[in-house]
């Protein structure tokens, strides 16, 4: 029987009931501007400070190390541009990043390259882990910032951020990590992690789209991205989106409290991987264990990923071929290509991203539905026909 299965949580998640309930009074009652000096403003300022304190507790950092932004992309832009522009004045104008970053990081680096800032794009191994020897060699005394994502949005590979941070610091560079996909998956203790800046976004953890955050360690000074009023301690102008900030605080508290329950998600993920690996000519993309609890990314040879997605959609399953941001293009994933997956195999990959909300019945349904879709598509492929004929000869 047809079901509806949402398996695209890496693209976005629904706003949870507890987040909606936390935000509702901030829209209807506590709607003041935190910068206003009157009672309504003071009430809003108290909420803003409270949200910052609660988030600081989640990450074991200080409240004044937290800056609210409009999204993960803004946080990525601010961290990299702000750091390199500030440090260039002291002779450090070089950026080190990886070939598998999200477009919010990659395109920021490409733009900065055009402005004259040199960038080194470090490669990854076949599991999608940054090549540490290449990374170490890339960081010099001219490097301003090392920008490496905590976990990849397409293949879910988790990077050794502690080790990378130590390498960056050993050469006097700042360490920035895009943790948009890692939040709610990995317990992040910023009092211990050698990270100077960390970006996150609300909509991957059941807060609304359009709210993000940048952690900037005390003592680290970067240039501003947005000019204007004195909000966020004069570092990020724009009237604070208070309802969403309160929603983000709630979502982060809930997501971090649920980290110990991820075992159940990991079991479902592995059942899905094992089931899909039974399909002939299939291959898991990304590291088998060092991967996000909810990420499944599998390549099927002799298949067009987009056709597979359409058939999944018709069957009520929401999935993706890569990141939501690049799904409008038919180009092969830059992440898979960087991992050495050949073009034609990269085209036949599907990403299924599950969460605590996913049920065992959802997994059963995907396992019942996807293999016949692949068989149907392969039977329509002239290449597949040749393979089958070849096997019969």
> Which of 26, 104, 106, 317 contacts ligand PLP by CB under 6 A?
104
User: Cα-atom radius of gyration of the chain, to the nearest Å?
Assistant: 22
**Nearest distance in Å: CB 211, ligand PLP:** 8
Q: Does 73 bind ligand PLP (CB under 6 A)?
A: yes
Q: Does 181 bind ligand PLP (CB under 6 A)?
A: yes
Stretch that binds ligand PLP, among 118-126, 176-184, 332-340, 365-373 (CB under 6 A): 176-184
Q: Which residue is nearest to ligand PLP (CB)?
A: 72
Nearer to ligand PLP, 151 or 370 (CB): 151
- Contact residues for 272 (Cβ-Cβ < 8 A; gap 6+): 296, 352, 354, 363, 366, 367
**Nearest distance in Å: CB 71, ligand PLP:** 3
Among positions 352-381, residues that touch ligand PLP (CB under 6 A) are: none
Nearer to ligand PLP, 76 or 232 (CB): 76
Binding mask 199-228 for ligand PLP (x = CB under 6 A): --x-x--------x----------------
Nearer to ligand PLP, 104 or 139 (CB): 104
Among positions 293-312, residues that touch ligand PLP (CB under 6 A) are: none
**Nearest distance in Å: CB 88, ligand PLP:** 24
Binding mask 315-334 for ligand PLP (x = CB under 6 A): --------xxx---------
In the sheet that holds 174-178, the strands lie side by side as: 66-69, 212-216, 197-201, 174-178, 143-147, 94-98, 119-122
Instruction: Report the C-alpha gap between 174 and 80 in whole angstroms.
Output: 10
CB atoms within 10 A of CB 182: 23
**Nearest distance in Å: CB 156, ligand PLP:** 11
- 61 classed as catalytic: no
**Nearest distance in Å: CB 147, ligand PLP:** 11
Residue pair 239/35 in contact by the 8 Å Cβ criterion? yes
Residue pair 80/106 in contact by the 8 Å Cβ criterion? no
Residue pair 185/220 in contact by the 8 Å Cβ criterion? no
Among positions 147-166, residues that touch ligand PLP (CB under 6 A) are: 149, 153
> Which of 6, 16, 146, 178 contacts ligand PLP by CB under 6 A?
178
**Environment class of residue 224 by beta-carbon count within 10 Å: exposed (0-12), middle (13-18) or buried (19+)?**
middle
Say how many Å lie between the first and final Cα of the chain, rounded: 39
3-state SS assignment for residue 349: strand
Residue pair 308/374 in contact by the 8 Å Cβ criterion? yes
Beta partners for residue 352, in sequence order: 296
HEC-encoded secondary structure of 84-144: HHHHHCCCCCEEEEECCCCHHHHHHHHHHHHCCCCEEEECECCCCCECHHHHHHHCCCCEE
What are the catalytic residues?
Answer: 325
- Chain residues binding ligand PLP by CB under 6 A are 71-73, 76, 102, 104, 149, 153, 178, 180-181, 201, 203, 212, 323-325
């Amino acid at each position: 029987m047809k079901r509806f299965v949402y398996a695209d949580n890496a693209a976005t998640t629904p706003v949870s009931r507890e987040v909606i309930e936390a935000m509702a009074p901030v829209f209807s009652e506590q709607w003041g501007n935190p910068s206003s000096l009157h009672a309504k403003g003071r009430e809003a300022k108290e909420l803003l400070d409270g949200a910052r304190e609660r988030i600081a507790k989640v990450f074991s950092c200080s409240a004044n190390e937290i800056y609210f932004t409009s999204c993960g992309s803004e946080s990525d832009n601010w961290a990299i541009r702000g750091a390199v522009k500030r440090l260039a004045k002291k002779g450090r104008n070089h950026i080190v990043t990886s070939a598998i970053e999200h477009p919010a990081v990659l395109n920021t680096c490409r733009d900065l390259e055009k402005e004259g800032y040199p960038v080194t794009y470090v490669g990854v191994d076949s599991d999608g882990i940054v090549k540490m020897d290449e990374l170490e060699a890339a960081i010099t005394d001219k490097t301003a910032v090392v920008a490496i994502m905590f976990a990849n949005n397409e293949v879910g590979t988790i990077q050794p951020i502690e080790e990378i941070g130590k390498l960056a610091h050993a050469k006097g560079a700042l360490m920035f990590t895009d943790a948009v996909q890692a939040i709610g998956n990995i317990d992040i203790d910023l009092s211990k992690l050698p990270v100077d800046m960390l970006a996150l976004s609300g909509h991957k953890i059941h807060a609304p789209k359009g709210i993000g955050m940048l952690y900037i360690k005390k003592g680290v000074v970067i240039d501003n991205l947005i000019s204007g009023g004195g909000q966020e301690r004069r570092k990020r102008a724009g009237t604070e989106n208070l309802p969403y900030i309160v929603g983000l605080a709630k979502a982060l508290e809930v997501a971090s409290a649920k980290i110990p329950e991820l075992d159940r998600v990991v079991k479902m993920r592995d059942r899905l991987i094992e089931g899909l690996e039974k399909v002939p000519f299939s291959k898991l993309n990304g590291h088998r264990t060092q991967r996000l609890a909810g990420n499944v990314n599998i390549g099927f040879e002799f298949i067009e990923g987009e056709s597979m997605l359409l058939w999944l959609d018709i069957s009520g399953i929401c999935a993706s071929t890569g990141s939501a941001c690049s799904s409008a293009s038919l180009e092969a994933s830059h992440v898979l290509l960087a991992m050495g997956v050949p073009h034609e195999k990269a085209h036949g990959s599907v990403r299924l991203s599950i969460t605590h909300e996913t049920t065992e019945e959802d997994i059963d349904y995907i396992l019942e539905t996807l293999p016949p879709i692949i068989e149907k598509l392969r039977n329509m492929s002239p290449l597949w026909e040749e393979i089958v004929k070849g096997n019969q000869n």
